[in-house]
Structure 1
Amino acid sequence: MAENAARHHGNRHGRSEQARLAVLEAADDLLVEKGFAGLTIEAIAASAGVSKQTIYRWWSTKTDILLDAFLQDLAEDLPVPDHGSLERDLRHYLRNLAYFLTRTDAGAVLRALLGHAQHDVDFAAVLRTRYLDEQLSRDKLALERAVERGELPDSLDIAAEVDQLVGPIYYRALVTGGAVDEGFTDALVDACLRRVS
């Protein structure tokens, strides 16, 4: 028991991966429950069962915590499929992207982070570097694989196709709140296949 208490350094988790994950999960949950404005370091610490000092060892602000939580969720929840077929890969990926943005806690975190980035230029730069560049690579991957397989021409403007494929999903998810169902995403894929065929 004494050994266990020493290892935990005065809190339930100690300076461990378990504590880090507890903080990320607490931040996700509290954001959904209280919204961005109602989210505080104090509330995250209490929910995670760690001290504020433990949090400040790893993160400076609540947005830093939310960004780490979001990036971890993104890596786990939004893989790019590789079925060997552009049509199947795009249908699968766009359906998952739409679901991720509109129906998951991680999507709520992203919406909060994008909103905050409109008022904090330093954070906006961090968000672009840590999320948007990686996400753009993810969004292009199915098209790049299709070019490598010879399914699409080398001359394809992949950036323009990505804009037309995912742009409408982000617009509905983040701006209008319109439906982003499978019919919508499949229509985007159909339009892309017509353009590139």
Structure 2
Amino acid sequence: MTSDRRPGRPRSETARRAILSAAMEELQQHGYAALTVEGIAARAGVGKQTIYRWWPSKADVVLDSLLDLAAERITVPDEGSLPADLVAFLTETFEQRGQRPVLIGLMAQALLDPVFATAFRDRFLFGRRAALREILDRAIARGEIAPDVDPELLIDVVYGVLWYRLLLDHAPLDAAAGRQLASLVVRAVR
């Protein structure tokens, strides 16, 4: 009988959580450029070999941490209407501005490392797009979006605003901006 289990000790959920938490704390304290696997390991109280056994790079540790955080903090609301769903989703999303160093660091890494870029796109960016697509699909089913509107373009517009403001830091990325963008999208789809 063959087993799907990898050789070695099984992954400890306690150690995994400590590592992911330590990665975020180190990142917030020192920034992405100064983040090291050694620093994460020291803060988490594990050996760096434990981290490398589970993740190929610091970017992959941070990505997993970000995915856990997004799943915990940003829900896909179902308030019964497109305006209410968008306001709830975008204000929650935009209120995560404290994650700016994380997102900018991961985007920079994705630009430099094509292998990581694929993981970042597939695991994080496409996941966030799927969440917004779920909201738009429900609105389409309720007849709140005109049939000639391209939902993929709407998703690009929403995340384009988020990433542009996040990367350039030229305008607020907060709950008020989330409400304004929601209002703009609702007007555009009618």
TM-score > 0.5, shorter chain as reference: yes
- Conserved 8 A contact 2:31-2:101: no
Count of residues paired in the alignment = 182
The runs of 5 or more residues in structure 2 that have no matched partner are 1-8
TM-score normalised to structure 1 length: 0.84
Q: Distance in 2 between matches of 1:52 and 1:176?
A: 34
- Conserved 8 A contact 2:92-2:175: no
Give the aligned partner of residue 145 of structure 2: 152
Give the aligned partner of residue 19 of structure 2: 23
- Conserved 8 A contact 2:41-2:51: yes
**Is 1:103 aligned with 2:103?**
no
- Structure 1 residue 31 displacement after superposition: 0.7
- Conserved 8 A contact 2:33-2:105: no
Kindly report the root-mean-square deviation, in angstroms, between the aligned alpha carbons of the 2 structures: 1.9
Q: Aligned partner of 2:149: which letter?
A: L
Select the residue among 28, 50, 65 that pairs with 2:46: 50
Give the aligned partner of residue 171 of structure 1: 164
**Is 1:74 aligned with 2:70?**
yes
Q: Distance in 1 between matches of 2:47 and 2:19?
A: 10
Give the aligned partner of residue 4 of structure 2: none
1:67-146 matches, within 5 Å, as 67-100=63-96, 102-104=97-99, 107-146=100-139
Tell me the SS of whatever aligns to 1:60.
coil
- Structure 1 residue 143 displacement after superposition: 1.2
Select the residue among 61, 64, 80 that pairs with 1:65: 61
TM-score normalised to structure 2 length: 0.87
Runs of 4 or more consecutive aligned structure 1 residues displaced over 6 Å after TM superposition: none
Radius of gyration: which is bigger?
1
Q: Aligned partner of 2:93: which letter?
A: L
Identity fraction in percent: 39
Q: 1:110 to 1:143 in 2, by over 3 A?
A: same
Select the residue among 171, 181, 197 that pairs with 2:174: 181
Task: Between 157-166 and 43-52, report the one with greater CA deviation.
Answer: 157-166
- Conserved 8 A contact 1:15-1:54: no
Task: Between 121-130 and 83-92, report the one with greater CA deviation.
Answer: 121-130
